[in-house]
Structure 1
């Protein structure tokens, strides 16, 4: 071995110190403003001269003789003591402690302060406290003079270079290749096995990319994204073939999984599960670095088969209830669902005991309602009544629900559909029978076949026909317009069902508009009360996962089990109900009749209801990749991002492929309240309902004629708020 070059820094000083006096003096001048003061405050004076005679030597010192040193430069409390202790127990103490003699009394044993290695000392104490080692366990230490303690403490901590993450990952890989298990390595280093798996995943990334990781050109989050693929070729292509602006972790992940389906967002995959899919031979791509533990798959046919088998196994118990048939439908098929109509359960008579409980609940609820009228009720009483009222209402609903039973005759011809909700949980829809064929609906322009009727002969004012307006081609396809307008309809209908007064007013408006106006566009309601909910889900399947939409649909079904099963008895029952209950029922059916689904962006009467309901469409609909951006052009995506986010983000999105641009647009615009133009403008059609009677003056008659021929005006929803004041000034037309 060649001789070590001479260095003044390691020359033995005359006083026995390991460091040259000049070097030590320079260093001590830099640190004595802090450390000696701390040592003095700790009440630890310098060690006696005789202690220096044993300095600068390696020796084993009993653990019980080692104490904390006031000269240790680390002031932040150490962490990971337990993990280090277990590691020392398994592999031993690899590095000695640096200690110095402490000042002690004449009759007390000499103790030594840990100037460097306090964390190791605490780990050894942990082993002692947990009965791994005795108190006199020998600890290898290097004993140094007190005056060198600060310098050596700072040197050990400052001159140590931490290991690069790539080297740490490589070390784990070597240990595995040497035959150690993941659990053994995790136990050895006091980490979770998943941490070992993640580091092994990084260690298996292409060596070319690992080298870039070591130099800092590739960041840790990018390495984690690259590890999503096990192919070095795919990894290198994702990095070297991509433009620099498209190398962020999100873009890399998107590149790998763009043709795959996610276990996190796909309801069928959630239901089947990763383990069951892999057990059936399916290939899974896992993201070990995702907090949600994302996973993707390609074989959707296998996934559907597994889901169908699991649902059919569940359906066996449903079939045993007495239904005629059960059908498993993992992916909700709206065409299939629309072929069935529900058979409602019937309300059975309660037992005397249950009837008494219901009567008591009704009586107490009436008493609470009367108490609410008091003006001097304090907050404590109000809170107590509110809690009691809520509990009673829940119990009432529970009892009423238990009284709803399907009739055996209905069950003999009806069945059940088994599908999945958005969370992958099974949904059983019982009581379905095949729909009978119905005649095709008449077109809007030929409603009731009376387009050419002249209403002026019965003494009423002549109706004014709405002029034909040619739709203007916008940025949305007819299919997307049907989807968007289905969401608008669902949002307005849900709000109507919660606001009976507005629903009542909307119904009266529809009746009056139908009396005097020729066009059905004067109102958004169809007073035949056709249920348009199935039409909405046909154009916007995601509405099946909308809580407000599904709750409103179920609320209407409940009435079928409450009302009498006879039309004459039904009328008598309705007459006996309170106005409040009638309005509640009416509001739900008015909400079901709302229909604004059309394949264009023309002004619509539904927009007049939006401000009346205090509804913000941005709260009910958000632009997503599947629901919006996949159905518009890439140029439209760029325009939307530019308007809703920023031009710079739009420029970045413009450089992506269409599918990636749609995904990125959804992420950027989330929560910003952006709406398509015809949603934001919310224009309605204002049309004249009758002709003003002719005046004596020819000029006035000409003016009236010109006014009658005016086209329908598109106005914003804000203008509708002033209509009531205008109507008061104009009055209503005479009736014979």
Structure 2
């Protein structure tokens, strides 16, 4: 009942859109977090034409009140433009504030979208079919799209002649200098000059084919430093060129270029074995005029025997079996509409688009860079993939295989998807890889700690730094507590339970007791030195005095959990 009453706090305009099936129920539930109808409608206007319409993003916009000046949105718009639009920046006169806080988050986001719109229109004018702009996109937003890449401009005859002359001069000078006994600054400077000229020729502009741009689009977003990030060359499946071959149905699409791929039978209704139709009825169809096609049942029986014989032969050739599996994997990962393999192997890869900021992690960026590098090297057409894989050396094959297999790994814990054995195997795999999230670069940030309850924050500090360090911050407001806890946890190698390879099942109270056994003096000696001055001054008093009501509140919160 309370939940239904809460939904009544949503703007009538949004509820009308819900009745028309233009807004999903989970989005309406997200809007109910705020009672400000004007703000709700403003947020909907902002996201309705963008790809970012997930409930978590709606909640973030509704609950966000201030934005730091070093946030990418603030950097992109700039303080001058923000203040010119009537925005106010709060400054701290006593501490370094990195430019302060932009007080009107709604105004700032509106300015961001207005400028993104102008930038997107300018990019669209370059000949792209579509441009989609957003502050950020969910991880995996390009899934299902083929990507084309720009190519360097061809060198003119004069440029090639000049490049060859520079290269010859550089190589001769470098070889002569390598045999010299003494260093010569003049020769080193000349080598640097020649190298710079060669680099300028190598780094010539890269252009997209206008015909390809006409079917492709661009994603425009903001990088972490507030600069415009443009990723172009993505072709949606519906924009792929269609090449008709006979009366092939639209459902028989395939191939890396997205065109309609024939299965080898121009009529589209026959069975093909070894590239030849075996029951083609388009020609002679009677004993008097010719030989009848083989019965379908006989064709099935014969090809079943051939299949088993092929399986047996494949089992005896490990190298070809590996390439065959790799071929099937690459087709699914890089050629979305090209299931041209006789191996019935399927890959599943979760996108986790609901996780805010996942695409900006170092791991996501490394995966994307590796994927793009392979995408550039692979042949444009799936028909040439097999020969390409045969031509790779063993190390490259293994690297490509590992990349494809890695995209299928899923160790996400979901309350509705109970799969304990799979999660146990993820731990086994992690141990085999000697994997650790600390080594991978994960740290407890202020943003992460801000999503925890105060009791959880204090528990983390107790586990990492001892009970005395936790007591020093237990009286703080949550935002300040999260900031100081992040600083205390820095370098401690502390991980939350879901990130630990083997979750410690000891109860929280037992963990507190173990932490309490630590020497108070040793804990203070190790941690007070890391605290800011105003906390270090209170260290002695906080260790001698009883916990205040604020500390009790933290204990109650922990008990409630």
State the TM-score bracket (shorter-chain normalisation): 0.3 to 0.5
Structure-2-length-normalised TM-score: 0.47
TM-score under structure 1 normalisation? Answer: 0.37
Determine which structure has more spread, i.e. the larger CA radius of gyration: 1
